């Protein structure tokens, strides 16, 4: 972001939220610019996003959902409203506009991605339980004036995202996305989900999940997809990726506790378990589209799995663990 624009935005933010500018500190930036700040002795997170990334209406819908979850006991960051009583402020700078939100900072640490077999049963159970409760709440959630989007990646999007990739991988990704069109969308199977709830997007403290983070990809999608994401990362983005026997041993321990937690809050018909492999491939396809091309090794692994299907663990072999 242009330093002049960043300064103008920070000045506007401090006025709208009555924040001491000396407490602002830049943390990171990719699709959004993220800062920390203090107000009334508490720590908060400031997120600034260009309208090209997400429209004002979509960010408003995201914040409405976060506020709803917070009010219903889900450990999400509490939104900090502006002095005008808004969850999202739109700041116009020259010919552009930016969406700015503020959230309470939740203490905690992330699970160790490199040691998935060391994850405790308590955390795995809570992970499943929180996802189950979010899905149950999704069934009763009524949107306000703004609605998040439905997950519906098109062939055009694939071409736009990876124009220089070979046609075979493009065709495979399009085929995976198109296979979803035949799946039913019922109140009990489809709704508003986090869509990216991997271990990097929740925090832990004193053996408890203290915070669910990063709702930037929240959308309407099949509930089973959220379970596939939980399985995907330890299987394919940890050292387990190199050893199918270790992957299978992990699943035998992970699935029963996770599913026990999920079932304690929400019912999902067991017929959806047959689609788990499809949604694992969907996650691979999404990452292949969005990963920077500089991450060549990760992209090669994903491409190999997508083009060579036997490299996946057959999750249907583990359906008995979901009982």
- Backbone φ and ψ of 319, nearest 5°: -65, -30
pTM of the predicted model as reported, rounded to 2 decimal places: 0.94
The superfamily (CATH) of domain 3-104 is Phosphorylase Kinase; domain 1 (3.30.200.20)
Query: Could you state, in order of their start, the residue ranges of all structural domains in the chain?
Result: 3-104, 116-322
- Give dist(CA 195, CA 216) in Å, integer: 9
- Give dist(CA 9, CA 11) in Å, integer: 5
What are the tens digits of pLDDT across the range 29-86? 878 889 999 999 999 999 999 999 999 999 999 999 999 999 999 999 999 999 999 9
Rounded mean pLDDT of the chain?
Answer: 94
Domain 116-322: give its CATH code: 3.90.1200.10
- Backbone φ and ψ of 135, nearest 5°: -70, -40
Average pLDDT estimate for 304-317: 91
Which residue intervals of 105-179 are DSSP H helices? Answer: 121-140, 155-161, 167-178
Does position 99 have pLDDT exceeding 90, yes or no?
yes
Closest by Cα among 201, 195, 185, 189 to 218: 195
Residue 9 banded pLDDT, cuts 50, 70, 90: confident
Q: Hey, do 3-104 and 116-322 end up sharing a CATH topology, with the first three levels equal?
A: no
């Amino acid at each position: 972001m242009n330093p002049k624009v960043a300064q103008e935005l920070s000045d506007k933010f401090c006025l709208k939220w009555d924040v001491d500018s000396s407490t602002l500190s830049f943390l990171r930036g990719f699709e959004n610019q993220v800062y920390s700040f203090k107000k009334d002795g508490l720590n908060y997170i400031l997120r600034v996003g260009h309208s090209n990334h997400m429209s004002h209406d979509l960010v408003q819908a995201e914040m409405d959902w976060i506020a709803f979850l917070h009010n219903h006991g889900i450990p999400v960051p509490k939104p900090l409203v502006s002095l005008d009583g808004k969850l999202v402020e739109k700041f116009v700078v020259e010919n552009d506009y930016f969406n700015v939100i503020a959230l309470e900072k939740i203490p905690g640490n992330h699970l160790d991605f490199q040691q998935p077999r060391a994850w405790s049963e308590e955390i795995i159970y809570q992970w499943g339980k929180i996802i189950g409760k979010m899905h149950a709440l999704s069934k009763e959630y009524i949107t306000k004036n703004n609605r998040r989007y439905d997950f519906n990646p098109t062939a055009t999007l694939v071409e736009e995202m990876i124009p220089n990739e070979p046609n075979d991988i493009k065709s495979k990704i399009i085929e995976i996305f198109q296979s979803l069109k035949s799946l039913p969308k019922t109140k009990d199977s489809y709704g508003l989900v986090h869509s990216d709830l991997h271990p990097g997007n929740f925090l832990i403290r004193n053996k408890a999940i203290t915070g669910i983070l990063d709702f930037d990809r929240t959308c309407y999608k099949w509930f089973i997809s959220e379970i596939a994401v939980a399985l995907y990362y330890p299987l394919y983005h940890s050292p387990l990726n190199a050893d199918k026997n270790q992957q299978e041993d992990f699943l035998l321990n992970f699935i029963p506790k996770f599913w026990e937690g999920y079932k304690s809050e929400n019912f999902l018909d067991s017929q959806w378990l047959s689609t788990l492999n499809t949604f694992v491939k969907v996650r691979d396809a999404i990452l292949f589209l969005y990963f920077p091309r500089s991450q060549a090794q990760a992209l090669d692994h994903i491409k190999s799995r997508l083009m060579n299907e036997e490299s996946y663990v057959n999750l249907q072999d583990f359906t008995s663990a979901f009982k």
